[in-house]
Amino acid sequence: MGSTSRTGNSWVVASSEETPGGKVTVVNLLERHPLDWQFVPCPYTELDCDGPAALPECMAAVRTPDLLIIATDQPALLIHPQVVRINNELLPRTTQILLLCDDRLATDYLAGHRLLTNVDIAPLQAPADALGKKVAQILRSCDTNRRMDESDGRIEVVDAVIERLINSRQRAGREISRIRRVLDYLDQGVFLFDRESEAQVYANRRARQLVDGVGQIDSLQLSDLLEVNERGEFEKELQSLTAGRVDSLLHDSVFSVGSDGRLRALVTLHAIEDQHNGLILAVVNESGALYAGGDPHHYDPLTGLPDRRRFIDLIAHSIVAASGTGASFGLVLIDLDRFKDINDSFGHFVGDRLLAQVATAIKEKFGRSAKIGRLGGDEFALVVGSVNSIQAVEQIAGDVVTEISRQVKVDGYRIGLAASAGAALYPQHGNSAELLLRHAEIAMYVAKRERAGVVGYKPNYKNNKAELFTLENDLRQAIETDQLSLCYQPKVLFRNASVVGVEALARWHHPRRGYVPPDQFIVLAERSGLITGLTRSVIRKAIAQAAQWHLQGRTMQVAVNLSARNLQESELPHFVGDLLAQTGVPGNRLKFEVTESDLIDDPQQAIKIMEQLRQHGIEFSVDDFGTGYSSLAYLKKLQVDELKIDRGFVTQIDQNGDDLIIVHSTITMAHQLGIKVVAEGIENRAVWDLLSVLECDVGQGYFISRPLPAAELGKLIDKGFQQFQCPGRYPD
- Percentage of the chain modeled with pLDDT above 70: 68
Average pLDDT, the chain: 75
Q: Are residues 488 and 449 located together in one domain of the fold?
A: no
Rounded Cα–Cα distance for residues 698 and 678 (Å)? 5
pLDDT at 144: 65
Give mean pLDDT, residues 542-565: 90
Burial class (CB in 10 A: 0-12, 13-18, 19+), 52: buried
pLDDT at 19: 46
* Of 127-136, 229-238, 317-326, 483-492, the least confident: 229-238
Q: Are 638 and 607 in contact (CB under 8 A)?
A: yes
Q: What is the pLDDT of residues 88-147, one digit of tens each?
A: 777 777 778 887 776 555 555 555 555 566 777 777 777 777 777 777 777 777 766 666
Q: Are residues 113 and 246 located together in one domain of the fold?
A: no
pLDDT band at 353 (very low <50, low <70, confident <90, very high): confident
pLDDT at 323: 77
Rounded Cα–Cα distance for residues 527 and 324 (Å)? 40
Rounded Cα–Cα distance for residues 597 and 619 (Å)? 18
Of these ranges, 113-117, 275-279, 661-665, the one predicted with the greatest mean pLDDT is 661-665
Q: What is the pLDDT of residues 420-471, one digit of tens each?
A: 999 999 999 988 888 898 889 888 888 887 778 899 998 876 555 556 667 7
Q: Are 507 and 516 in contact (CB under 8 A)?
A: no
For residue 616, pLDDT over 80 is answered with yes
Rounded Cα–Cα distance for residues 180 and 640 (Å)? 78
pLDDT at 600: 59
Q: Are residues 50 and 146 located together in one domain of the fold?
A: yes
pLDDT band at 31 (very low <50, low <70, confident <90, very high): low
Q: Are residues 112 and 137 located together in one domain of the fold?
A: yes
pLDDT at 590: 96
pLDDT higher at 471 or 617: 617
CATH of the domain at 223: 3.30.450.20
pLDDT at 539: 96
pLDDT at 578: 94
Single-letter residue type at 90: L
Quote the radius of gyration of the chain (alpha carbons, Å): 47
Peptide bond into 427 cis (omega under 30): yes
Residue 477: strand pairing partners: none
Domain assignment of residue 304, yes or no:
no
pLDDT at 23: 44
Rounded Cα–Cα distance for residues 65 and 196 (Å)? 51
Neighbours of 633 (CB within 10 A): 9
pLDDT at 582: 94
Domain assignment of residue 367, yes or no:
yes
Residue where a domain terminates, one of 162, 180, 198:
180
pLDDT at 175: 64
Residue 288 Rama label (left phi>0; alpha psi -120 to 50; beta): left
pLDDT at 345: 67
pLDDT at 230: 52
Residue 262: strand pairing partners: 256, 291
pLDDT band at 3 (very low <50, low <70, confident <90, very high): very low
Q: Are 45 and 55 in contact (CB under 8 A)?
A: yes
pLDDT band at 22 (very low <50, low <70, confident <90, very high): very low
Rounded Cα–Cα distance for residues 84 and 675 (Å)? 124
pLDDT at 445: 82
Q: What is the pLDDT of residues 46-69, one digit of tens each?
A: 554 444 555 555 555 555 677 778
Q: Are residues 536 and 450 located together in one domain of the fold?
A: no
Q: Are residues 63 and 194 located together in one domain of the fold?
A: no
DSSP state string for 172-202 = HHHHHHHHHHHHHH-SSEEEEEETTT-BEEE
Residue where a domain terminates, one of 240, 271, 297:
297
Q: Are residues 316 and 458 located together in one domain of the fold?
A: yes
Domain assignment of residue 724, yes or no:
no
Domain assignment of residue 725, yes or no:
no
Rounded Cα–Cα distance for residues 39 and 42 (Å)? 9
3-state SS assignment for residue 490: strand
For residue 294, pLDDT over 60 is answered with no
For residue 671, pLDDT over 60 is answered with yes
With DSSP H G I counted as helix, E B as strand and the rest as coil, what are the percentages for the chain, rounded to 5?
A: 45, 25, 30
* Of 14-23, 599-608, 638-647, 693-702, the least confident: 14-23
Q: Are 617 and 586 in contact (CB under 8 A)?
A: yes
Give mean pLDDT, residues 354-380: 87
Dihedral sign of CA atoms 351, 353, 358, 362 in order: positive
Domain assignment of residue 307, yes or no:
no
Residue 632 Rama label (left phi>0; alpha psi -120 to 50; beta): alpha
Q: Are residues 649 and 513 located together in one domain of the fold?
A: yes
Q: Are residues 339 and 285 located together in one domain of the fold?
A: no
- Pairing relationship of beta strands 590-595 and 619-625 according to DSSP bridges: parallel
pLDDT at 49: 45
Q: Are residues 514 and 636 located together in one domain of the fold?
A: yes
pLDDT at 283: 76
Residues 6+ away with beta carbon under 8 Å from 296: 254, 262, 263, 264, 289
pLDDT band at 579 (very low <50, low <70, confident <90, very high): very high
Domain containing 560: what range?
472-719
Rounded Cα–Cα distance for residues 665 and 139 (Å)? 95
Q: What is the pLDDT of residues 489-527, one digit of tens each?
A: 999 999 888 899 999 999 999 887 788 888 778 878 887
Rounded Cα–Cα distance for residues 193 and 270 (Å)? 10
Rounded Cα–Cα distance for residues 124 and 73 (Å)? 8
pLDDT higher at 191 or 344: 191
Give backbone dihedrals phi and psi of 552, rounded to 5 degrees, phi first. Answer: -85, -5
Q: Are residues 477 and 585 located together in one domain of the fold?
A: yes
Give mean pLDDT, residues 612-639: 76
pLDDT at 262: 52
Give mean pLDDT, residues 259-288: 65
Give backbone dihedrals phi and psi of 432, rounded to 5 degrees, phi first. Answer: -140, 155
Residue where a domain terminates, one of 420, 443, 462:
462
CATH of the domain at 649: 3.20.20.450
Rounded Cα–Cα distance for residues 201 and 233 (Å)? 24
Domain assignment of residue 225, yes or no:
yes
For residue 641, pLDDT over 60 is answered with yes
Rounded Cα–Cα distance for residues 556 and 489 (Å)? 12
Counting the structural domains of the chain, the total is 5
Q: What is the pLDDT of residues 173-229, one digit of tens each?
A: 666 677 777 777 676 778 888 877 788 788 888 778 777 644 556 677 777 776 555
CATH of the domain at 94: 3.40.50
Rounded Cα–Cα distance for residues 77 and 59 (Å)? 25
Domain assignment of residue 263, yes or no:
yes
Rounded Cα–Cα distance for residues 715 and 712 (Å)? 5
* Of 402-411, 677-686, 701-710, the least confident: 402-411
Q: Are residues 432 and 489 located together in one domain of the fold?
A: no
Domain assignment of residue 600, yes or no:
yes
pLDDT at 197: 79
CATH of the domain at 442: 3.30.70.270
Rounded Cα–Cα distance for residues 719 and 640 (Å)? 32
